[in-house]
Amino acid sequence: MPGVLDARDRNTALRKLTAGPLDVLVIGGGITGAGAALDAVSRGLRVGLIEGRDLAAGTSSRSSKLIHGGLRYLEQRDFKLVREALRERDLLVTRLAPHLVKPVPFLYPLYRKVVERPYVGAGLVIYDAMEGTKRPVPYHRHLSARGALRRAPALRPERLAGAMVYYDAQVDDARHTLTVARTAAAHGAIVLTRATATSLLRSDDGSAAAGERAPDTTGGRVTGARVRDEETDRSFDVMASRVIVCTGVWTDLVASLGGVQARYEVRMSKGVHLVMPRAAIDAETGMIVRTEKSVLFFIPWGERWIVGTTDTDWSGDRAEPTATGEDVDYILLAANRVLAKPLTRADVIGVYAGLRPLVAAAADTPTTKLSREHVVDVPVPGLATVAGGKFTTYRLMARDVVDAAVADFPRPVAESVTAQLPLLGADGLPAVRAAAQRLAEDYDVPLTTVEHLLTRYGALVPEVLEPLGRDRSLARPLLDGYPYLRAEVAYAVTHEGALHVEDVLARRVRLLIESPDAGVPAAAEVGAIMGGLLGWSRRRRALEVRRYLEFAESAAEALQSAADLPEPADSVLVPA
């Protein structure tokens, strides 16, 4: 079936990858790699995508989950980035992924009426103007202090001079990445997770075509990659005419696997977010407030808020960056400067950290000042790398790196068509939305369940519900109090390539960050459903669950280690 990543049939993908030389091998299954695979395959190329862990296991499941122009980049005069990002946002909201990317209003509180309103207002006029007149989100609006408090009673009223409201959009980043990878698979890309590139293969004199001779890892053209299957610990070679490295903060490391020196430096900047219940902050809209260093977002996330973020240099483990007690306190203190009822650590349900892959300039440039624009490089023939950028602009990053990779391709390659390619679940969406009530009746589930599924799978909802006809137990909630169905766990295995309990609880459903106990109470249930489909023994199920508990424990450490919070500052923040 097109676009199905069936974890039970992983060997087929493995076999296909090694069957013969590919046109393009993409390394890295974050949003950039998934985007590059989709871009390349939809130009008619033979494409493979390998990911060392799970799709979106890196930064692409740990972002602020905004699809936005980036108001603060406007202040940095990064007009090109903002313009491009706004266009991408609108394309995603209207055509490419209307089921996944949703407009969201943000309130920008003002504290210095005379100086701030004209300054922020002018910025928002430019923000709106860059988008053009055909727009899927409303123009910004001015609010009085009373109007602001009506929308966000949580704000401290003293010194509040008014507010602006503007629109951006939000997305479940891991789900979006998965959907892009599935769309690539639907067009013929071979997608394999838990497959790590351990070296880049190179022809010895630079003249050999892919697969012509026994390759080594020094010398000329890059001709493929040696790959370790993390599930079996076996290695194999994948030959490809072009290799594209999309490994985010690992980009320099992966390039060096082939003895190639990246011509730019990727700096890692850690960003932490806190997840809180909706009841902790009384507001009907998202909010953005200034901090001393940058901005703080309050982002509505279903029944929760996501609050963040931080921006600090990181040089530790790239795979699992950790939040510290200091990070947690920084966010709470910054939030409490504008909130009437201070937040405490007891309000925090979850905390997560991610690493921004920033393309570095001078070593002493603060990461908040580094550009979010991307850099494409072709350091040696056969190899292209891309780094930097934002989730929002992944389609442009993908287009640019594929353009660079195939610039000297032996046959003509079509131009990128991804601006016209709706992601899986977007085609036919209005008809499935209209059929929501009928689907609820046919599968005997509440209408709210179908509505929940529509925001996650779009037009593919009938595919998720279909097994309920054979197994009614799949209609039960995975965990009481959360909208996820047991059927979604089964679908994660049969259609979304989930191989481990962590893949489901951290990225297919988001219980890792949404539940106060990191989804641990659901781990055994997930292990049982997955085990039934993947043929796990009782021992393997227990091992999988234990592995998840260890993973969830390390994620929660920051909250335990946080020291006592100082009293909130007296005054709200005002712009510098």
Q: What is the 3-state secondary structure (H, E, C) of 77-109?
A: CCHHHHHHHHHHHHHHHHHHCCCCCEEEEEEEE
Closest CA to 329 of 310, 352, 356, 306: 310
Smaller CB separation from ligand FAD, 30 or 98? 30
Residue 512 and residue 501: Cα distance in Å, rounded? 11
- Would you list the DSSP string of 464-493? HHGGGGT-GGGGSBSSTTS--BHHHHHHHH
Distance of closest approach, residue 377 Cβ to ligand FAD, in angstroms: 14
Least CB distance to ligand FAD at residue 220 (A) = 21
Vertex 315 angle, CA 309 and 318, to 5°? 75
Binding-site member from 24, 39, 48, 60 for ligand FAD (CB under 6 A) = 60
Contact between 305 and ligand FAD per CB under 6 A: no
- Closer CB to ligand FAD, 351 or 429, in the complex: 351
Is residue 368 a contact point for ligand FAD (CB under 6 A)? Answer: no
> CB-wise, 57 or 426, nearer to ligand FAD?
57
Applying CB under 6 A, the span of 58-66, 137-145, 447-455, 533-541 interacting with ligand FAD comes to: 58-66
Question: Which lies closer to ligand FAD via its Cβ, residue 405 or residue 490?
Answer: 405
- The interface with ligand FAD within residues 325-344 (CB under 6 A) comprises none
Please give, one letter per residue, the 3-state secondary structure of 378-430: EEECCEEEEEECCCCCHHHHHHHHHHHHCCCCCCCCCCCCHHHCCCCCCCCHH
Q: Does 30 bind ligand FAD (CB under 6 A)?
A: yes
Q: Does 215 bind ligand FAD (CB under 6 A)?
A: no
Q: Does 300 bind ligand FAD (CB under 6 A)?
A: no
In the chain, DSSP finds a helix count (H) and a strand count (E) of 19, 18
246 contributes a contact to ligand FAD by CB under 6 A: yes
Would you count residue 309 as binding ligand FAD (CB under 6 A)? Answer: yes
Nearer to ligand FAD, 52 or 531 (CB): 52
Piece of 208-216, 245-253, 481-489, 512-520 that binds ligand FAD (CB under 6 A)? 245-253
- Which CB atom, from 29 or from 422, has the smaller least distance to ligand FAD? 29
Measured from the CB of residue 316, what is the shortest distance to ligand FAD in angstroms? 14
Distance, CA of 479 to CA of 545 (rounded, Å): 16
- 59 in contact with ligand FAD (CB under 6 A): yes
User: Binders of ligand FAD: how many residues, by CB under 6 A?
Assistant: 38
The residue (of 63 and 515) whose beta carbon lies closer to ligand FAD is 63
Under the binding rule (CB under 6 A), the answer on residue 58 touching ligand FAD is yes
- Select 372 or 456, whichever has its Cβ closest to ligand FAD: 372
Site map for ligand FAD, 346-365, x if CB under 6 A? --------xxxx--------
How many residues does the structure list for the chain?
Answer: 576
User: Which region, judged by CB under 6 A, interacts with ligand FAD, from 6-14, 21-29, 133-141, 528-536?
Assistant: 21-29
Give the end-to-end CA distance of the chain in Å, rounded to a whole number.
Answer: 56
53 binds ligand FAD (CB under 6 A): yes
Backbone angles phi, psi at 499, to 5 degrees: -110, -20
Pick one of 14, 40, 41, 66: the residue that binds ligand FAD (CB under 6 A): 66
| Site stretch for ligand FAD (CB under 6 A), options 65-73, 184-192, 472-480, 527-535 | 65-73
Should residue 392 be labelled a site residue for ligand FAD when binding is judged by CB under 6 A? Answer: yes
Among 351, 356, 370, residue whose Cα is nearest residue 308: 351
Encode burial over 249-274: b for 16+ CB neighbours within 10 A, e otherwise: bbbbebbebbebebebebbbbbbbbb
For 201-244, the three-class secondary structure string (H helix, E strand, C coil) is: EECCCCCCCCCCCCCECCCCCEEEEEEEECCCCEEEEEEEEEEE
Residue 525 phi/psi, 5-degree rounding, is -65, -45
- Rounded-to-integer distance, Cα 197 and Cα 10, Å: 17
Interface positions, 106-165, toward ligand FAD (CB under 6 A)? none
Handedness of CA 38, 224, 319, 542 (dihedral sign): positive
Two structure tokens written together for 22: 């590919």
Question: Does residue 63 bind ligand FAD (CB under 6 A)?
Answer: yes
Candidate segments 118-126, 323-331, 389-397, 545-553, binder of ligand FAD by CB under 6 A: 389-397
From the list 23-31, 97-105, 214-222, 492-500, the region that binds ligand FAD by CB under 6 A is 23-31
Contact call for residues 273 and 306 (beta carbons, < 8 A): yes
Tokens found for residue 221? 């053209």
Query: How far apart are the C-alpha atoms of 18 and 413, rounded to whole Å?
Result: 23
Residue 164 near residue 143 (C-beta atoms within 8 A): yes
Residue whose C-alpha is closest to residue 275's, from 308, 306, 299: 306
Selected range binding ligand FAD among 133-141, 240-248, 341-349, 498-506, rule: CB under 6 A: 240-248
Per CB under 6 A, does 197 bind ligand FAD?
yes
Closer residue to ligand FAD, CB minimum distance, 360 or 522: 360
x/- letters, 250..279, toward ligand FAD (CB under 6 A): x---x----------------x--------
Read off the tokens for 229.
């299957």
Does 64 contact ligand FAD by CB under 6 A?
Answer: yes
Q: Which is nearer to ligand FAD, 123 or 357 (CB)?
A: 357
CB of 177 to ligand FAD, least distance (A): 7
Task: For residues 238 and 22, give the distance between their C-alpha atoms in angstroms, rounded to a whole number.
Answer: 8
Q: Which is nearer to ligand FAD, 68 or 242 (CB)?
A: 68
Q: What residue ranges bind ligand FAD (CB under 6 A)?
A: 27-33, 50-53, 57-60, 62-66, 68, 196-197, 246-248, 250, 254, 271, 309, 354-357, 389-392
